[in-house]
Homo-oligomer: A and B are copies of this chain.
Amino acid sequence: MSVTNPLRLEPLKAACSTCNLRELCLPVGMSNEQIERLDTLVAIRRTITRGETLFRTGDAFQSLYAVRTGFFKTCVSSEDGRDQVTGFQMSGELLGLDGISTDRHSCDAVALEDSTVCVIPYHQLEGLSHEITDLQRVFHKIMSREIVRDHGVMLLLGSMRAEERLAAFLLNLTQRLHMRGYSQSALILRMTREEIGSYLGLKLETVSRTFSKFQDEGLLEVKQRQIRILDHDALKKLVNSASC
């Protein structure tokens, strides 16, 4: 293929039925037969290199995207230029749900490392979920889960202190990575301190200091973006115990 098309301008072929993310992604809980019908829908992939955007605020909404490899952030910005990271997405997670509302995207999606996504034309998804009840059911669950997740972030932003926020963030990340077969106790952060801070409603200095504090207390080992979790329970206690 690369011989006839060395520049790789031609989009890559996607196929849910042979994808190892089946259990985490849109096809979750569907039958093999149903998943094969999904293949007609999710036909192409796109690669996004680190730092590039998959879509931007204001872009016309056409498709949802399932992260296949790599890592993304989404961020909204207010008219005065303040911006806020609203989430980090890893393999199997969906991007673009915000666009359904107004047919335009209301946030930016930026790749934090070289990434590939499967393109899911939304119009076709609506059509197919008309035919496949299970697809409709799964899709609704995914949207609802996003709402529940957002409520969790509101709780974090509205009522937790810096240490609790960072602990909750790390536990959430490792839990999601663990579901994907990675270690529970070691991770490499794909985002900067500033991006973590934006997500958690903190300044980058506070994030950095809190990392250092956790390290001093023996909860973590921090080497730049390499994190090792030494005391999982202590982090959990931080999140779950009352702030006062």
Q: Is A233 an interface residue (CB 8 A)?
A: no
Q: Which residues of chain B have C-beta atoms less than 8 A from A148's C-beta?
A: 98, 101-102, 106
The reply to whether A240 and B78 contact each other, CB–CB distance below 8 Å, is yes
Q: For the complex, is A175 an interface residue (Cβ under 8 Å from B)?
A: no
B143 and A82 contacting across the interface, CB-CB below 8 Å: no
CB-CB under 8 A from A151, the residues of chain B are 76, 84, 86, 98, 106-107, 150
Which chain A residues numbered 153 to 197 have a C-beta less than 8 Å away from chain B? 153-155, 157-160
State the CA gap A154–B106 with chains docked (Å).
13
A133 at interface, CB cutoff 8 A: yes
Which chain B residue lies CB-closest to A152? Answer: B76
Residues of B within 8 A of A133 (CB): 126, 130
B147 touches A150 (CB 8 A): yes
Whether the Cβ atoms of A150 and B150 lie closer than 8 Å is yes
Contacts of A101 in B (CB 8 A): 141, 144-145, 147-148
Q: With an 8 A cutoff between CB atoms, is A243 at the interface?
A: yes
Bound-state CA distance A239–B80 (Å) is 9
A110 to chain B, nearest CB (A): 15
How near does chain B come to A94, taking the closest CB pair, in angstroms? Answer: 11
Partner of A144, one of B76, B82, B99: B99
Chain B residue numbers with a CB within 8 Å of A129 are 136
Residues of B within 8 A of A159 (CB): 78, 82-84, 198, 201
Interface set, chain A 73-109, CB cutoff 8 A to B = 76-84, 86, 97-102, 106-107
- 6 A-B pairs (CB sep. < 8 Å): A76-B155, A82-B155, A82-B242, A82-B243, A84-B159, A126-B137
